[in-house]
Chains A and B, each alone.
Chain A
Amino acid sequence: DAKTTQPTSMDCAEGRAANLPCNHSTISGNEYVYWYRQIHSQGPQYIIHGLKNNETNEMASLIITEDRKSSTLILPHATLRDTAVYYCIVKANQGGKLIFGQGTELSVKP
């Protein structure tokens, strides 16, 4: 299974864009990149996923580099409620198994 590397923590000002990077240099050709977040005391919540094209939904945008070795999750206008741990995951090569790394703790400040 491909491993991911994320910064331990990041800060972002409320109303600004939050850009969360992730390295996944050993990703294989048919593995997807998934992003989840976990707000304190809750279960993780799905945000977005992609294979090689950039993706956007109502929550966020996902930018994947052309070589697929890294990606960036963008929260376009961060709010205080976006304070959470964000996990970048490469989908395991056996069925639906998800292996979580340590994630990035994002603090959105007023």
Chain B
Amino acid sequence: DVKVTQSSRYLVKRTGEKVFLECVQDMDHENMFWYRQDPGLGLRLIYFSYDVKMKEKGDIPEGYSVSREKKERFSLILESASTNQTSMYLCASSSEGWNTEAFFGQGTRLTVV
């Protein structure tokens, strides 16, 4: 069974903390994504990686960075967490090409207090 695993289902952090959200996929996929989902705003792409050590900004990269040192792992980093980063964060992966589907993790609900 294909799997995208996010390290935490729920997370509470304090304002100003450095936060790491981890995502691991076991499908040898080239592409990995981080989205955030907020009521009324839908899923918005934060960052995208198409290969190890490669990354592209999505629609809302401000306040975030990413790391992809190994093919199976894609980390989202909040350098200094703020309350407006309270959200549901979703990781996904897909293989390269036009004709491929993406697989999503279950999400991490992050609350910044």
Residues of A within 8 A of B (CB): 30-32, 34, 36, 41-46, 49, 51, 87, 91, 94-103
Residues of B within 8 A of A (CB): 4, 30-31, 33, 35, 42-45, 48, 50, 56, 58-59, 90, 92, 94-107
Other-chain contact of A96, B58, B100, B104 (Cβ < 8 Å): B100
Distance in Å: Cβ of B17 to nearest Cβ of chain A: 25
Distance in Å: Cβ of B41 to nearest Cβ of chain A: 9
Distance in Å: Cβ of B51 to nearest Cβ of chain A: 9
Are the CB atoms of B90 and A97 closer together than 8 Å?
no
- What are 30 pairs between A and B in contact, CB < 8 Å? A30-B98, A34-B101, A41-B107, A42-B107, A43-B4, A43-B92, A43-B106, A44-B43, A44-B104, A45-B104, A46-B101, A46-B102, A51-B99, A87-B43, A91-B98, A94-B56, A95-B31, A95-B50, A96-B48, A96-B97, A97-B45, A97-B56, A97-B58, A98-B33, A98-B92, A99-B45, A99-B59, A100-B42, A100-B45, A101-B42
